[in-house]
Amino acid sequence: MNMRELALHVLDLVQNAIEAQANQITLEIKEDCTADLLTIQVLDNGHGMSADMVKDVLDPFVTTRITRRIGLGLPLLDMSTGRSGGYLDIQSEPGKGTKITAVYQYSHFDRPPLGDIAATVKTIIALNPELDFRYSHIVRNQVFSVTTSELLAILGDIPLTQPEVLEWLGDYLTVGIANLYGGEKFENC
């Protein structure tokens, strides 16, 4: 398996947080052209991991792990960042939550493209309408953000999962993200 687009890693990170019983998840994507860095951070208030567990999750082939399925999401993200002049950082505290930070050298030849972040955020919200989800995306010094709490406040009694609402949300995200790049498809820092 090769996650060719960073949006797939975003989905995996959010899925991990949901599996960890988080009800608050923050996704921040930062494209810093001056520092030549692309950073993806996912913060959750789930059950967290012990220090041993954090060490363990980056090695998918440790033989002591027989009690559960061998995950590949974090090892693949670790390899992907390392290959692209970046790194993966995991901060976690049992009972409190987890902060995963994936850093890439923006202009690195091996950095995967972001992929369809608008569709990814829409999917996360559509599948988890109860989740307090906050997404912010920074390109240079432009910020675009969407939170489920502000969407719910605007919608009132209309369910977030209504098809018309989701269609509107998809367009809103697509336009908001395109505007970060000055309305054009942004290829290089």
Ligand X SMILES: Nc1ncnc2c1ncn2[C@@H]1O[C@H](COP(=O)(O)OP(=O)(O)OP(=O)(O)O)[C@@H](O)[C@H]1O
**Interface residues toward ligand X, by CB under 6 A:** 12, 16-17, 20, 44, 46-49, 57, 69, 71-75, 98
For residue 185, list its beta bridge partners. none
Q: Which two tokens stand for residue 42?
A: 């996912």
Other C-beta atoms closer than 10 Å to the C-beta of 20 total 17
Give residue for tokens 């599948």. Answer: 127
| Position 12 contacts Mg ion (CB under 5 A) | yes
For residues 70 and 83, what is the distance between their CA atoms, to the nearest angstrom?
22
For residues 34 and 17, what is the distance between their CA atoms, to the nearest angstrom?
31
Nearer to Mg ion, 20 or 166 (CB): 20
Query: In the complex, what is the shortest distance from the CB of residue 57 to ligand X, in angstroms, rounded to a whole number?
Result: 4
Q: Which of residues 45-74 bind Mg ion (CB under 5 A)?
A: 73
Query: In the complex, what is the shortest distance from the CB of residue 93 to ligand X, in angstroms, rounded to a whole number?
Result: 10
User: Which member of 6, 10, 16, 78 binds Mg ion (CB under 5 A)?
Assistant: 16
Binding site for Mg ion (CB under 5 A): 12, 16, 73
